[in-house]
Amino acid sequence: MSSQIPRPKLNSELAQVHQALPKIGMSTKEELESYRQFLGSSFSLEDAIRGREDVLSYEERDIPGPAGPMRATIFRPKNETQRIEETPGVLCMHGGGLVSGNRFVGVIGMLDWVQALGATLVTAEYRLAPEYPQPAALEDSYAALQWMSNHSTALGFNPRKLVVCGGSAGGNLAAGVTLLARDRSGPEVCAQVLMYPLLDDSNQGHSVQQFGDIAPWTGLNTIDALRYALGKNHEHADMYTVPSRATNLYSLPPTFIDVGEADAFRDEDMAYAANLWKSGVSTELHVWPGCWHGFDAFVPDAPISLQAGAVRLNWLKKVLESS
């Protein structure tokens, strides 16, 4: 991972924030705790709903998980006017490399869906590595999907319009949960939205060489986080915890994938989209010029972030209209 390798320029709209982002390692417990504190202080419920208090309502509750209750937040529009048959449900898995973060990491962009689509959105905590290696986070997320589907009437949405989404590690979990739902004959997933997802555990590819040295997520972060989550020899890796290992992507729902041009995950995300196409899955892929990992979560008001959000929303509207 060298800055000497030729690479596209970073997007100037994001430069001010990017220059201020810390580059934090994870190789020790102390460093990991520092990263957890960094993400925890960057994303909160207050940040998520700021400016939306008049249009969004939220409820916090514990939902059942494989190892005990999981804290969840449920967002709804304050003035619900559409019929339940028209209302989508969205399960959002948060980012943080499977080792950090809370249920509000990256949720700001998805709250636009609550407003625009009248959606019910659920975001839940899951167990983190290294205290709880995979498949703990995956099974927690699948339990949240089952709970949401089973309580669709009480939550006020149509279970045939159930969407899973997530960014970064949340995208990893969203992809894994979608595969699990297919193979376990679980809840029907209408669509999956994967934002710069972590899909592969090899940490290879030219994009890693180009951009694995920049904040807020480096190639070394990936190595350490996957060692914590998958085990020293990645003994906990399979097609559900590492979706790029799946050789059969048939019968998955319509999929949206986007990633920044300056994201170390770029190449693995493009490869996953190609494999979905090969399996006959309707897939839309966007690569945002000069954007680094998590750009829209850290700079939600940047023009490129707003553009990315609008494209995701428009895609989701079309998919939901046909479901």
Provide the annotated active-site residues.
168, 263, 293
- List beta partners, residue 131: none
The percent helix, strand, coil of the chain (3-state, each to 5) is 40, 15, 45
Name residue, tokens 């998919």.
319
CA distance 283 to 271: 12
Which of 196, 55, 71 lies closest to 115 in space, CA to CA? 55
Q: Which residues contact 63 (CB under 8 A, 6 or more apart)?
A: 69, 70, 72, 124, 143, 144, 147
Is residue 57 within a helix (H) or strand (E), and if so which, with residue range? strand 56-63
The crossing angle, in degrees rounded to 10, of helices 136-150 and 169-183 is: 60
